[in-house]
Structures are given as C-alpha cells and as structure tokens.
Amino acid sequence: NEQTRLGPTRLDAVHAAAAAGRWCARMQAHGAMPHASDPGALPAHVEEQRTRVSINSDAPRYTHAVEAAGAYAASGVDNSFNMERFKRDLRIEVHSLTDEEVVFDLIGVDAAIANAFRRILLAEVPTMAIEKVFVLKNTSMVDDEVLAHRLGLIPIRADPRYFHERAKDEDADEHNVIAFRLAISCTRSRGAGADSMINSRALSGALEWIPQGDQEERFRASPIAPVHDDILLAKLRPGQEISLEAWCEKGTGKTHAKWSPVATASYRLLPEISISRRAKPSDGSTTSPMDLFDQEGEGRGPVASRPRKCCMPSEVARDADWESSVKLSRVRDHFIFSVESTGVMPPDQLVQEAIKVLMQKSADLSQLLKDVIVGHEEGAAEGAAE
C-alpha cells in the first residue's frame, strides 16, 4: 500500500537522494571532500547564505535552507546530513524557568524540526480535560450545552501519564476517568440588603474531585483539582441552582483545544547584528531603536549589547541613521523558544513530553521508510526473476 501511495517516481527520488548522500559521505570520509560545516569550506558570502537569513528594509533574503547533499558539489564541498555532526552541534540552553513559562534556545536544528516541536507542544502532548458532563439540574440562565463547553475549557491539574485514553466502548474506571461533582445553589442572605446573595457566582473552585478506586492514594501528594479556582462558570440568582457530574478523559489538542497543554508555544530565530566601521562614534543606545546598542568606549563607537531584544529588525533596517551602518541577520539554526503552560503540567515537563513524542514519530517514520524500501526492492527482485 505504501508503494502504491508513494509511486515509482517518488521512490526513485528517495533512492537518488539517498545515493547522493551516501556518495558525498564516502568522499568526505576519505578526506576527498570537505563538509559544508567545516570552517573555510565555502566562500564567506556563500557560507552566509547557508547559515543566515538576511534582514533588509524591504524583505528578508535567503529564507530557504539548502538541504541537498550535492548542493555545493561543484565547489567540491559535501552538504549531506551527518549524524555525528548533528549530535555535536545540537544544544539546548535554558534561559529562564518559572512555574508557568520556560524560555530556552534550541540550537543546531532545521526549521522543520523546530516547527514540528512547536506543533507537538500545541496539539500532541496529552492532558486531562472534562469530556462528559451529566447535568442533573440546571436552572441558571446558562444553557446546558454552553455550561458543558465552559467546563471543558477549565485546565485540570492531573498527571496524564497515570491514565490512558478511554476507548469508545470502554467502561469508565480509575485508570481512564477523573470524576468531579458540582453542586451549588444561590440563596438570599438573611438580615442583609435585598441585593445580598450567597453563591451568586458559580466558580471553577466549586468543582469537587470524587476519587475513583485507588486514585486518592495515588494522588495523595498532589490532589487533582482545577488549576484556577476563580474561573466564572455562571451567575446565579436566588432560587437557581446547578447540580452535575463531570468526567475528565485523556486526549490531545488535535482533537480539541481544551486538551492543549500550552497557552503559547512560539519560537523566533536568534537576531545577529553587525556594525560596520562607518558607524559614527556618537551613535548609541540613546538613539537606537529598541535599546540594542551601548557605547564601547570614548570615541570607539557603538556595540550590539542586546541583540536578543531585536524583535522588529525591519524597523531597524528602515531607520535612516542605522541603515548604512548596521547589518541585520538571523542565525538559521538557532531558535529562541517560549513555552507557557496552562498550568496542567510544569513547562519543563511539557518540553520533555514533547521530545518523547517527537522521538516516537521519528522512530515510526524510520521504520515505515525501511518497510517501503525493502518492499520496493523485493518487488523489483520478483519482477526480475519472472
């Protein structure tokens, strides 16, 4: 089936690319061909195009990565992927970590890998969220469907690694469901003014966890509860009440956004600022956009002291005072990640879980390609025998 889906043309392209990569790797291993990542292997302007995205006043340049193994073969340079070099260059540097957010640098990967990592954080790291709502009584102004939707969006602090996804016809138990109860009624306060009421606001903190099986023992150190107690579900007036039971199930953000574990997960390329000798000694942080520069010394001109603060490089490039003196670019394989958790899991744990998902995807893809290539070769051998 995979052979039919890929087709002979695409399979030939896969074989050709693999053969080119193996040839370049052999040549490089025998010392006959330097690798593109070796210092001085490429001319300076070509190396800049390979490793940097140039920022100009009108538009960025060199935005596409050069990935073909033989891209620089005419210059006698190998550009094939090398696992040992990849392991050597791959780094993660954590810059800040709080209970809600982690900021780190992911260095030595392609944009496709960085974006896959971001998308996994958004949609493929599993969490627990309210999926089933059994309304026993609801006399508030909020419809049952709207109330159920609002309940589903409440972040629930529960470690999803202790649960498995519930199958369609599977019975609910302590290993696939977390149960909550909400029972609240609004009454008028005695001896107070006409506008004085008790329980006039149904908040997420009113959700009561109902342990199932051995859940109370398993989660004794960290009881399951909503992340925030002050999320408004409905406003009530005297005589109105809500009584319901809600079940949390395990899922991922690609099914529904309520299972997404992050509020934001974004990245940007590391800015790089080069100042030419034509910069005036008086140019400095007092006149530069975004406070990027400092004075190196008396009469020695400005230096780029805070390049990471450059979030709008095109504005710097358009500045008449800096356009002729400053060269702006971004490092192609250096990504500044910002991951903000909804509170269901610590942000550092989210990153670890996303790495596990990415590793499993890579293993699955590797096995699939092996099966496709082996099947293609076996089919070709059978055809030749006939």
Distance CA 243, CA 191 (A): 27
Q: Which of 28, 60, 85 is the last residue of a domain?
A: 85
Q: Which of 259, 275, 307 is the last residue of a domain?
A: 259
Nearest C-alpha neighbor of 279 from the set 268, 295, 291, 267: 295
pLDDT for res 101: 96
Distance CA 24, CA 55 (A): 32
User: Does residue 140 have a pLDDT over 50?
Assistant: yes
Q: Which amino acid makes up residue 84?
A: E
User: Does residue 76 have a pLDDT over 70?
Assistant: yes
**Same domain, yes or no: 268 and 120:** yes
Please give the model's pTM, rounded to 2 decimal places.
0.79
pLDDT for res 157: 96
Domain containing 113 — which CATH number? Answer: 3.30.1360.10
Distance CA 115, CA 157 (A): 27
Total number of domains constituting the chain: 3
341 token code pair: 């958790």
Distance CA 120, CA 351 (A): 10
Average pLDDT (104-124) is 95
Q: Which tens digits make up the pLDDT trace of 274-291? A: 776 555 545 444 455 556
Distance CA 212, CA 227 (A): 20
**Which stretch of DSSP H or E encloses residue 294?**
strand 293-295
User: Does residue 351 have a pLDDT over 90?
Assistant: yes
228 contact partners, CB below 8 Å, separation of at least 6: 154, 155, 204, 343
Nearest C-alpha neighbor of 342 from the set 171, 101, 113, 139: 101
87 token code pair: 């392991």
Q: Which of 259, 274, 295 is the last residue of a domain?
A: 259
**Same domain, yes or no: 350 and 301:** yes
Q: Which domain holds residue 23?
A: 1-85
298 token code pair: 């008396």
